[in-house]
Amino acid sequence: MRQPTPPFSAALAGGLLAGLLGQAAVAQTAPDPADWDQVVASAEGQTVYWNAWGGNPQVNAFIQWTADEVQDRFGIALEHVKLSDAASAVTTVLNEKSAGRDTGGSIDLIWINGENFAAMKRNDLLFGPWSEAIPNWQLTDPAENTALTSDFTVPVDGLEAPWSMAQVVFYYDSADIDTPPATIPGLLDWARAHPGRFTYPQPPDFLGSTFLKQALLELATETDPLYAPVDEADYAAISAPLWDYLEELTPLLWRQGQAYPQTGPAQRQLVADDEIDIAISFNPGEASAAIANYELPETVRSFVLEGGTIGNASFLAIPFNANAKEGAMVVANFLMSPEAQARAQDPDILGVGTVLDLDKLEAPDRARFEELTLGVATLSTEELGTPLPEPHPSWMERIEEDWESRYGVAR
CATH code of the domain covering residue 395: 3.40.190.10
Helix (H) or strand (E) holding 125: none
Query: Is residue 351 included in any domain, yes or no?
Result: yes
Backbone angles phi, psi at 315, to 5 degrees: -120, 160
Q: How many CB atoms lie within 10 A of CB 13?
A: 10
**pLDDT tens digits for range 222-251:** 999 999 999 989 999 999 999 999 999 999
Are residues 63 and 176 located together in one domain of the fold?
Answer: no
Q: How far apart are the C-alpha atoms of 380 and 101, rounded to whole Å?
A: 47
User: Is residue 107 over pLDDT 60?
Assistant: yes
Are residues 136 and 202 located together in one domain of the fold?
Answer: no
Q: How far apart are the C-alpha atoms of 70 and 68, rounded to whole Å?
A: 6
Q: How far apart are the C-alpha atoms of 222 and 233, rounded to whole Å?
A: 11
Domain count for the chain, please give it.
2
Q: How far apart are the C-alpha atoms of 329 and 334, rounded to whole Å?
A: 9
Are residues 294 and 347 located together in one domain of the fold?
Answer: no
Share the mean pLDDT of the chain.
90
Amino acid of residue 111:
W
Are residues 256 and 360 located together in one domain of the fold?
Answer: no
**pLDDT tens digits for range 333-383:** 999 999 999 999 998 888 889 999 999 999 999 999 999 988 899 998 889
Are residues 330 and 272 located together in one domain of the fold?
Answer: no
Q: How far apart are the C-alpha atoms of 154 and 316, rounded to whole Å?
A: 15
User: Closest Cα partner for 356 from 373, 380, 337?
Assistant: 337
- HSE toward the beta carbon, residue 141, CA cutoff 13 A: 9
Alpha-carbon distances of 400 from 192, 206, 216, 250, 389, rounded to whole Å = 25, 10, 12, 15, 19
| Bond into 204 cis (ω within 30) | yes
**pLDDT at position 374:** 84
**pLDDT at position 117:** 94
The domain of 131 spans 31-163+313-374
Are residues 331 and 219 located together in one domain of the fold?
Answer: no
User: Is residue 11 over pLDDT 70?
Assistant: no
pLDDT confidence tier of residue 408, bands split at 50, 70 and 90: confident
3-state SS assignment for residue 121: helix
**pLDDT at position 18:** 39
| Angle of CA points 11, 17, 22, to nearest 5° | 125
Query: Is residue 21 included in any domain, yes or no?
Result: no
CB 161 within 8 Å of CB 334: no
Are residues 248 and 391 located together in one domain of the fold?
Answer: yes
Sign, Cα dihedral of 134, 136, 138, 140: negative
Q: How many CB atoms lie within 10 A of CB 142?
A: 16
Query: Is residue 253 included in any domain, yes or no?
Result: yes
Q: How far apart are the C-alpha atoms of 58 and 62, rounded to whole Å?
A: 6
**pLDDT tens digits for range 136-164:** 999 999 998 889 999 988 999 999 999 99
Are residues 241 and 304 located together in one domain of the fold?
Answer: yes
Are residues 204 and 349 located together in one domain of the fold?
Answer: no
Are residues 402 and 352 located together in one domain of the fold?
Answer: no
Classify residue 228 by burial, with Cβ atoms within 10 Å: 0-12, 13-18, 19+. middle
CB 368 within 8 Å of CB 177: no
CB 328 within 8 Å of CB 109: yes
Query: Is residue 379 included in any domain, yes or no?
Result: no
Are residues 282 and 327 located together in one domain of the fold?
Answer: no
Query: Is residue 15 included in any domain, yes or no?
Result: no
Classify residue 408 by burial, with Cβ atoms within 10 Å: 0-12, 13-18, 19+. middle
Q: How far apart are the C-alpha atoms of 208 and 261, rounded to whole Å?
A: 9
Alpha helices in 160-299 (DSSP H): 184-193, 206-219, 235-249, 264-272, 286-292
Query: Is residue 3 included in any domain, yes or no?
Result: no
Query: Is residue 180 included in any domain, yes or no?
Result: yes
Are residues 287 and 173 located together in one domain of the fold?
Answer: yes
Query: Is residue 402 included in any domain, yes or no?
Result: yes
